[in-house]
Each structure stands twice: as C-alpha cells, then as structure tokens.
Amino acid sequence: MPLKDPISFFSRWPFLRALRNRLRRMIPAHSGHPKLKMQVLETERLVLRKFSQEDLKDIIAWEEAPSAQDAEAQAQEFLNYCFREYRGWGIGPWGMQLKDTRVIVGNCGFPDIIFKSLCGEVNYYVAPKHRGQGLALEALQALLKFGFRDIGLTRIQARCTVDNLSSERVMQKAGMRFEGLIENAASSKDPGPKQKLYAILGKDFDLMTTGAPDCSNHATPPSEDRG
Ligand SMILES: CC(C)(COP(=O)(O)OP(=O)(O)OC[C@H]1O[C@@H](n2cnc3c(N)ncnc32)[C@H](O)[C@@H]1OP(=O)(O)O)[C@@H](O)C(=O)NCCC(=O)NCCS
C-alpha cells in the first residue's frame, strides 16, 4: 500500500519548534521542571538513542533533496537542533537505529512536556524507504513506556493531519484514542491543516501493557538532575 504523507520531515520541525516555544513562554523559566535524563530505549528491532555528529550520513539519506548541499545543510540543521535540545532539556529526539544494520532510519521524541499537568506530546518519523514494517509503532510504544514509567507523565498525546492515515493507524495500534479535531484560529497567520488529536492516559497504558493499573506515584517526576 503506498504511503501518503504530505508532511515532510524537515518542514515539521520549525512548526514544532514554534509550538514548543509558545508553550515554554507559558511556563515560567524558574518553574523547577526537572532536567530529564535521556535513556537508551530498546525494542525488538530498534535501539533508540541520542544522535551524534557521526549520524549525519544516515540523516542525509532519509529524504531526497534538490541538491546534495541542501541535503547536508538540512541534515546538519536537524542535528544542531537535537544537540540544542539535549543541552537545554536533557532530552531531545531519539535516533531510531536498526539493530541488524545499525542504520539510523528515523527519529522520535517528546517535542513538548508540560510538567505542571504531567502531560506530554510525542512525534515520530520513519524515512520513506523503511516505512510499512511496523517500526513507527515499535518506537511509539517505547516512548509511551518511557513517558509514563520514567518521566511520570499521566497523559500523552500525538497529532497528525487528517489525511495522514498511516500515522493515525500507528496511534490507534498503540492504544491511543481519538479526542477530536484541532483547527487553528482562522485569524492566525498560518492556520495550517486541520489535525487529529489522539491521546492515552497512563492508567490505560498500564492496563493495556500489564493488565493491572500501576500504583506507583505518577505525580513525582524524576529529579536527579534539575536544570
Ligand atoms: C507515520 C509514519 C511514522 C509511519 O511509519 P511506519 O513505520 O510506516 O508505520 P508502521 O509500519 O508502524 O504502521 C503504519 C500503519 O499504517 C498503515 N497504512 C499505511 N498507509 C496507509 C493508508 N494510506 N491508509 C490506511 N492505513 C495505512 C499500514 O498498513 C500500517 O498499519 P498495519 O500495521 O495495521 O498494516 C511515517 O509514514 C512517517 O514518518 N511519516 C512522516 C512523519 C509523520 O507523519 N509523523 C506522524 C506525526 S507525529
């Protein structure tokens, strides 16, 4: 089945960055959120880990670009964004590395976490030639587990444009539930396309993965290393 994905990987990040910055402005800088520790996460076929400069070649291969120079510049811009996130917040995009070939085939992460309400948002990207093998689902499941069990979130959401059926399928298969359509205000300069909002609560994730609610204190985020 051909995958129809109008959202190009690189065009997604400026939008996410703008959204994140807007949310950060709403949270005072001194609000005492913990600086998170990025862990290596493992799934059946993937190792999810921090990006390093050595990954540039794999990132360049994700998408076709008008020229080799453009491809390298875009890939480097993405890497720089990751490094800034790691420095500033402790976590940032995880690279999805295939266990068998060690190639980095995509990325995923938490573009937003609101500690006050213990809510997070996830996103994921798999390079076109590696799609349709269930890799996004594997990565999303690992992120949900990390978000609920390690960060201590109580609700995790994800969004996709209304025609992004493969992404919607991934959310559904991970147990996320449709909550509604998001439409930006018509007055906004760039209202963008309508999006579908999906979410899952920690207690439902626990029920789904273990069959029993997790009674540990979700309201206490890890605090070894505060920023
Ligand atoms: C969305 C995305 C991550 C999916 O990656 P993937 O590795 O192919 O995802 P999976 O293989 O885990 O699952 C894809 C599912 O969508 C289904 N699917 C694919 N195209 C579809 C379509 N046109 N209609 C309906 N279902 C479709 C697949 O059949 C599969 O479901 P199945 O396992 O039940 O058969 C990938 O397309 C991508 O990176 N897109 C660009 C970035 C993006 O849109 N991210 C999501 C928003 S955060």
Residue 95, pLDDT score: 98
Residue 7, pLDDT score: 40
Ligand 1 contact, 43 CB (< 6 A): no
Exposed, middle or buried: residue 16 (CB in 10 Å: 0-12, 13-18, 19+)?
middle
Q: What angle do CA 40, 41, 43 make, to 5 degrees?
A: 145
Ligand 1 contact, 18 CB (< 6 A): no
Nearest residue (by CA) to ligand 1, atom 27, is 166
Ligand 1 contact, 193 CB (< 6 A): no
Residue 184, pLDDT score: 76
pLDDT, the chain, mean? 84
Ligand 1 contact, 134 CB (< 6 A): yes
Of 170, 172, 195, the one to substitute when testing ligand 1's pocket (max ligand atoms within 8 A of C-beta) is 170
**Spatial separation of the C-alpha atoms in residues 8 and 63, rounded to whole Å:** 8
Q: Average pLDDT for residues 10-32, to the nearest whole number? A: 52
pLDDT of residue 12 exceeding 80, the answer is no
Residue 8, pLDDT score: 44
Residue 223, pLDDT score: 35
Ligand 1 contact, 133 CB (< 6 A): yes
pLDDT tens-digit series, residues 77-97 = 999 999 999 999 899 999 999
**Spatial separation of the C-alpha atoms in residues 124 and 58, rounded to whole Å:** 16
More confident residue, 66 or 215: 66
Ligand 1 contact, 160 CB (< 6 A): yes
Q: Are the beta carbons of 200 and 175 closer than 8 angstroms?
A: yes
- Which range has the worst mean pLDDT, 33-37, 71-75, 181-185, 217-221? 217-221
Ligand 1 contact, 36 CB (< 6 A): no
- Please name each of the domains of the chain with its CATH number: 9-210 (3.40.630.30)
Alpha helices per DSSP H over 27-163: 56-60, 68-89, 135-145
Residue 198, beta-bridge partner list: 158, 178
Alpha helices per DSSP H over the chain: 9-26, 56-60, 68-89, 135-145, 165-173, 202-210
Q: Are the beta carbons of 92 and 113 closer than 8 angstroms?
A: no
More confident residue, 39 or 191: 39
- CA 164 to centroid of ligand 1, rounded, Å: 8
Task: Give the closest residue to 41 by CA, choosing from 192, 195, 148, 118.
Answer: 148
- CA 90 to centroid of ligand 1, rounded, Å: 29
pLDDT tens-digit series, residues 124-140 = 999 999 999 999 999 99
- Which range has the worst mean pLDDT, 41-50, 117-126, 181-190, 215-224? 215-224
Q: How many CB atoms lie within 10 A of CB 64?
A: 8
**Spatial separation of the C-alpha atoms in residues 59 and 76, rounded to whole Å:** 9
Strands (E), 148-202: 155-161, 177-182, 195-201
